[in-house]
Amino acid sequence: MGTIITHYLTLAAILFCIGLYGALTKRSGIIVLLSIELMLNAVNLNLVAFSKLGDHPALTGQIFSLFNITIAAAEAAVGVAILIAIYRNKGTSDVTDLDSMKR
């Protein structure tokens, strides 16, 4: 059983690293939001793996994962709305050009 959880944790670590790379290196706001979603999904994978395959299996990790998915969906909706508003005002979604709150 220890090797099974290792596979889940390895996959979650790879997903998290890919998301972190995307969030730190990409310039498009949409790609940054997608990278953050990928990192949150890696966390959800860890929560479910520990909840199901841990020493004391329980539903707490899975329930917390559902709350995390809900928060991630709300974050994505608000983030896309902010990006649309910025694109309408500035004409770009490049996050490096958005260094001030002024027009």
Tens of pLDDT, residues 18-37? 999 999 999 888 999 999 99
Average pLDDT over residues 62-76: 93
Separation between Cα atoms, residue 46 and residue 68, nearest integer Å: 12
Q: Is residue 98 scored above 80 in pLDDT?
A: no
As a whole number of angstroms, the distance between CA 64 and CA 6 comes to 21
- Residue 42 contacts residue 19 (beta carbons within 8 Å): yes
Domain 1-93 has CATH 3.40.50.410: no
